[in-house]
Structure 1
Amino acid sequence: MPDAADHANSTRQRALGAFYGLALGDALGMPTQSLSRAQIVETFGEITTLVDARADQPIAPDMPAGSITDDTEQAMLVADLLIEGRGSIAPLDFARRLIAWEDDMRTRGSLDLLGPSTKRALERITEGIAPEEAGRFGATNGAAMRITPVGIAFDVRAPELFLAAVQAASSVTHNTGLGIASAAAVAATISAGLNGASLSEAIQVGIDFAERGGACGHWFAGARIAPRIGWARRLLEETSDAEAITYLNDLVGTSVLAQESVVAAFALAEHAGDDPERALCLAASLGGDTDTIAAILGAMLGACLGLNALPSNLIAQVQQVNRLEFEPTIDALLALREGA
């Protein structure tokens, strides 16, 4: 039987897989974000590796291959807040850090700024509206895209504590059933993966917590996250990759809405999760919010399969281009998990 040291090493490798998988998916989707499927096919054919963004990329013009975007940077921001707060995130501190992050992005000349729900919530906070009310219209994927650190720092086997942590990291900007459900689904899948669950088992845990998260926050009109994940999983059963891309574009959707992009990430995990590189390249080839879909997918696959299951050459390129070193952050997040 594996001893405690083996278990700790496995958990660390899965946690590293989650964060580096997030960054890899983000970088693969960077050059195709906001493009249509037809534009991607015309420009790149299919995404099979990290590629440069073209000069006419609407959000990330001329960014070099392997560059990360807001998905990874905001996840790093959440990780820093969790570590500084010893597992807690103060809503106003979170808001201030997001505003400062966007100001820094503008200074760098980046067009990769805050998403619509986050931007609206922060504007409401600066107008004096209470944080618990500011995010009552947030139903996009912003909370889900940056929730990976919560899945690492909190164990889904302590469900009340876990869901409270998801809410704390989501509600300032996405205080709706849809926003919290999508973040809970992603975080729970990651947390279950760290505990040693298989990908299929972890996805089911994610669906269960999407149900719980859907009962939190303000009501917002839209199809519920948990049933849509279950439906999308069945939709892609025994389909080819080409059929999967067509179904995801035509039936599921790939926009910033949580019930589209987050569900698409889960569907691809079911369809091709046994081959992470293939799955992430499919996500980057979809069209729409490709960087976020691929980032969420990469975090879930990395957590369930471990860092060694990800393509090491592509991970190394992303590390080098962005000067990433996640190991100290991961160790601090795992210390929070152990303490909790």
Structure 2
Amino acid sequence: MLNKYKGCLLGAVLGDALGMPGETTVSRFIGVTLGFKRAYKGHPNHDLLPGQYTDDSQIMLAAARLLADASWDPETYAKDLLRTHNLNKFRYPDGTIYAACKRMQTTNDFIGSGVYSDSAGCISLAVPFALAYKDRKEMAPKLLEACSITHTHPGAHAATIGLALMLNTLIETGSPDDAYQALITAAQNMNPDLAARISNAVRIEKTGMQITESLAAIGNSSSVYHTLPLAIFLCNRFKDPEELLACASSCGGNADTITLICGAYLGAHRGIEALPQDLIAGLERRGEFETLAEKLQNPKKPEPKKSEEKSEKKSEKKPAQEPESIYDSGWEPE
């Protein structure tokens, strides 16, 4: 089971880093090769090194740390996002997250600054929540709470919760059919339009349509109505791990998030052994993500409330040192 936990989390980060240079570009499927690359000069991510991840994994890491330590709190998460925004440490942030942070900055409202947007900027939150909660009924409202910090659109909520349920089911049962059913049921209940688009992507895949025509029919933009259906199409089409990751990272548009979803799916289904080990070795903060996966499998229990006397004594202690910024690792490729 731990191999699947590590596979899901590291697969997501790996996919993000692979898709990073292809974000906002056109799709290129001819001569596709798998490997970390640098974005072209002038690209918003051109300062990132091969093997570094984008804002998708940044917010995933922020949530994973809180969940692993049993200290999840939506306001703490929101303040972490705002602090990073103020430090200008976000790596080409999703426009919706940027807008939400600007609202927090001007209103000082950390919970009510979400934006009505169907972008896929919060969908990576599905990964740490899928790993941290074994009780799906407990997970769903907590994940909805997390998404709403930045995204208030029902499509964004349905996509994120549906993906979390799919990954959670895949880890538990090992059945892609059961996992897909969990996703489509959540989408049907929360946002029928998203469910229809996912079903259409699966239908297109079954026809055997070429990937270029399929991409044109499904879409590859940053909207969850394109990002999630296209990722599901790719996971159904390509069974070889390297072929799946190579094609996902070459699809342009929202390539980083699309490949993140494919990597998480691959790792949840087949474990960390299914991921390209040479690429895992060159992944930014690989060790920390592995440690977090272990913690998420058995997260800490919330500490019982202490008496007022103990609380007062505790308050006299020096404040704990802030952890290293999740957005500026000083990492260099090996």
TM-score range, shorter chain: 0.7 to 0.9
Q: 1:57 to 1:17 in 2, by over 3 A?
A: farther
Q: Are 1:46 and 1:285, in contact at CA under 8 Å, matched by a contact in 2?
A: no
Shift of 1:67: 2.1
Residue of structure 2 in register with 1:198 after alignment = 175
Query: Unpaired runs of 5+ in structure 1?
Result: 1-10, 215-222
Deviation string, structure 1 residues 190-238 (Cα, Å, up to 9, x no partner): 1112203322321221222223444xxxxxxxx7222211111111114
* Residue 68 of structure 1, CA deviation: 1.8
Partner residue of 2:213?
A: 246
1:24 counterpart = 2:14? yes
Which residues in structure 2 correspond to 1:132-211 (within 5 Å)?
Answer: 133-155=112-134, 158-211=135-188
C-alpha separation between the residues in 1 aligned to 2:119 and 2:161?
13
Match of 1:335 among 292, 298, 305: 298
> d(CA) in 2 for partners of 1:186 and 1:312?
25
Q: Is the 8 A contact 2:222 2:254 kept in 1?
A: yes
- Aligned pair 1:70/2:55, yes or no? yes
Distance 1:132 1:213, change over 3 A: farther
> How far apart, CA to CA, are the structure 1 residues paired with 2:300 and 2:162?
18
Shift of 1:257: 0.8
Equivalent residues of 1:118, 1:138 under 8 A apart: no
Match of residue 202 from structure 2: 233
1:77-101, CA deviations, whole angstroms, 9 ceiling, x for partnerless residues?
A: 11012234x1x63222222111222
**How many residues of Structure 1 are paired with residues of Structure 2 in the alignment?**
302
5+ residue gaps, structure 2:
303-334
Return the alpha-carbon distance in structure 1 between the equivalents of residues 183 and 167 of structure 2: 8
Cα pair distance change 1:99/1:196, threshold 3 Å: same
Distance across 1 between alignment mates of 2:39 and 2:137: 45
How does the TM-score come out when normalised to structure 1? 0.81
| Alpha-carbon separation, structure 2, partners of 1:281 and 1:188 | 25
Distance 1:260 1:296 in 2: 13
Match of 2:323 in 1: none
The one-letter code matched in structure 2 to 1:26 is D
Question: C-alpha root-mean-square deviation of aligned residues, in Å?
Answer: 2.4
Partner residue, 1:91: 74
- 8 A contact 2:3–2:272 mirrored in 1: yes
The answer to whether the Cα contact below 8 Å between 1:19 and 1:326 also exists between their aligned partners in 2 is yes
Kept in 1, the 8 Å contact 2:10–2:286? The answer is no
Whole-angstrom distance in 2 between the partners of 1:60 and 1:113: 6
Matched, 1:81 2:66: yes
Q: Distance in 2 between matches of 1:46 and 1:60?
A: 23
Which one has the bigger helix percentage?
1
| CA separation of 1:161 and 1:271: change in aligned 2, threshold 3 A | same
Letter paired with 2:53: I
- Length-normalised TM-score, structure 2: 0.82
Bigger-Rg structure (1/2)? 2
Pairing 1:108-127 to 2, within 5 Å after superposition:
112-127=91-106
